[in-house]
Structure 1
Amino acid sequence: MSKTFMRWIFRIASISILLPASFSNAAPRATAPKAPVIYGFKGAQLGMSLQDLYNLPIEVADTKPASLACSNTQEGRRQGAISSIEEDEIGIVVCQYRLNAGSDTSRATIRIGRGYTDNVNFRFYDGQLFKIYIEAGKREYDEAVDGLVAKYGDPDLARVEEAESTNGQTFSHEIMTWENSSNSVVASEPWVFGGGSVIFRDYLIERKMKLDLNSKYPSDKKM
């Protein structure tokens, strides 16, 4: 279990002890609603346009030249940015940072704290970024969680779940969630694999995407 996760659980437990004494006689106070936080990774914010992502400075750890490769161009597909047939039909665009030094078109490595990962994917629908998926090793995952806490504060939810692997082995993993009415970040650490994932998701854009997908592939026609 990560140190950040344990610190957060301990802090919540401490606060829960203090709440009755601090707020039992407090009068309710009206507060103006805050605009939802827009989550993002290294300048790439949910809801941004594809052109805005192209315009971002490239922060890769490689010494070889790198560029953003996207599935809506022939060159991007040649470099390895691939989307499924279903995604293509509703206009989903998948982007990755790839090396472009001669014949080397492998995934570029993105710095996360003291480490790095080459598994970062950006998904766009209707011209807007609705999902960022990051998969990294144990050290990079812990660094990512530290960065999320520093940027967005303590998670809104933290829990431990039991899961079962494909070979029937049971293992535990932690899940931390930052969320608001329009978007979320979920950090999940599957201990048995020694790494974790961080997923940024825009609910509103994703909902439009799923409606479009279901209209082309209705449930009653799937079987």
Structure 2
Amino acid sequence: MARFHELAFTTLVKDLQQQHNSRRQYERMEQTGPSGNTLGISEQTFVALRDSFYMASVSETGWPYIQHRGGPKGFVHVLSPSLIGFADLRGNKQYISLGNLQHDARVALFFMDYPNQTRLKILGKVEVHENDSESTTLIESLRTAEPGAVIERAILIHVEAFDWNCPQHITPRYTVEELQPELAPLHERLAKLEAENSALRGKLQQAAS
């Protein structure tokens, strides 16, 4: 996507692409690809179906920090093609990402679909709402049905750019929910075998008595 390349492909990055013979390919993509600064239907649907993502921020000392965020599918809300948000739950109270965002609001997000080996990268700027005039309304609109969840703030992310990664080197992984359709016949077969074994044991006990 042109906007993603504009932000991510610095002079040093382009020099390396030139050295490794990929610069011409990316130049063509920059010239012909969509702008990539608003999420299309495919991107919005992809985000809405995810149950986790990774968020990178940068500290005051220049060190990057990556945080994992998870929840039920749809816990990241697509509020508009250029705005996504989620309810930030109470965690271990380190507040590293939150502190970093007060220094620099820019973030990089990775949304992963491991079974289908797909990755969506989003660059954006964060807007934090905690104990302000908008926080209560935003928190309620972003709340999920997680039992016992303590929401501390609402986090909005204004999309600056996005890009899809190729599936190469993404190892497929599956959640329990995703495995259920494949495991269900095995569970049913096991239950039948256990019932048959129980009936046979009963008959053997009757014959022996």
Q: Normalising by the residue count of structure 2, what TM-score does the alignment of the two structures yield? A: 0.26
Q: Could you say which structure has the higher helix fraction?
A: 2
Structure number with greater CO (CA < 8 Å, separation at least 6) is 2
Structure ID, larger Rg: 2
